[in-house]
Amino acid sequence: MYFCFTMSTTASVAKQPAVPAALRLLRLKFRLLSALSTELAFGAAWRLFTTPRRLPIKNWEAAAVAEARQYWVSTARGAIAVYEWNPQGARTILLVHGWEHRASFWGVMARGLVAAGFRVLALDGPAHGASSGRRTTLPAFARAVQAVADEAGELYAVVAHSLGAAATAGIPVEFNRTTTGRLARLVLLAAPGSTAAVAQRFAQFLHVPAAVVQRMHRYIREQHGRDAESFSLIRTGRTLPVDQALLVHDFADESIPFAEAEEIANNWPTLIFRPTTGLGHNGVMRDAGVIRQLVEFLA
């Protein structure tokens, strides 16, 4: 994926005595491609980096979205699936998922927010869930969030996880553009601090040479007119038009190092930082204690 390559696979590999055969073959592929041509290796790496797996639907996901109304938002690059819970809620909260997730992953969080009286929206990002596409990038993900936000009416808060946090706060997405241009509350869960560091973890995991990583960074500059690190929350967070922001990150996050959360907090003086223990990268989305804290913060 673009800037938020999940490292959960890396963590599981590290605990095993042998590297899985599929990973050995993938690393061999990049070694051979790199020996032939940096450009060939870059093309293969970029395709992998921007192609999320469509993971099997878990049993509990169907129940999560059964209570929601599904609708669609059209964009220049395809249709985005959106789910709405409690349309009569007094204030609206938008949930933005991470890499290889989908709106249904927010089921526990959505129920908690609905119980607190909120109207809740969640989208399937491009190339995720029911939405269009097979590949996506961080800017493309952000454009989809922007399209949903523009059609949602007045948004009170956004809760974003991992890649969703990077897209929401790193590009960044502009909320309430026809009214105040501000967001009352922003919650970031397991957010990556440095976009360049994510790309570097991707490269280390697959043993991609430095020349290929440099080519990826050059491609980003060519496509977007800015360096990859300019999307980093370490740089962008403190400039966001947000009344109050909260960051939740677990000490044992297997995908995004805790040190990145500390760096975000150190560079964002008004940010409220709440570390957790034992929840990992995804557990922060559905932990009862975290949801209670979020409801209190959003009140």
The whole-angstrom separation of Cα 193 and Cα 256 is 8
For 34-74, the pLDDT digits (tens) are 999 999 999 999 999 999 999 998 888 988 889 899 999 99
Judge contact between 147 and 12, C-beta under 8 A: no
pLDDT band at 10 (very low <50, low <70, confident <90, very high): very low
* Mean pLDDT calculated for residue range 83-98: 97
Q: What is the pLDDT of residue 16?
A: 53
Which positions ≥6 away from 15 have C-beta within 8 Å?
none
Q: Which residue has the higher pLDDT, 204 or 17?
A: 204
- For the chain, list the strands marked E by DSSP: 69-75, 78-85, 92-96, 119-123, 157-161, 183-189, 242-250, 272-276
Domains and CATH numbers, the chain: 77-106+113-192+228-298 (3.40.50.1820)
> Is 0.85 topped by the overall pTM?
yes
Judge contact between 272 and 245, C-beta under 8 A: yes
For 30-43, the pLDDT digits (tens) are 999 999 999 999 99
Phi/psi for 275 (5° steps) reads: -70, 150
For 181-240, the pLDDT digits (tens) are 999 999 999 999 998 889 889 999 999 999 999 999 999 999 999 888 899 999 999 999
Both structure tokens of 197? 């560091």
Neighbour-count burial of 72, counting CB atoms closer than 10 A to its CB (0-12 exposed, 13-18 middle, 19+ buried): middle
Both structure tokens of 31? 């070694």
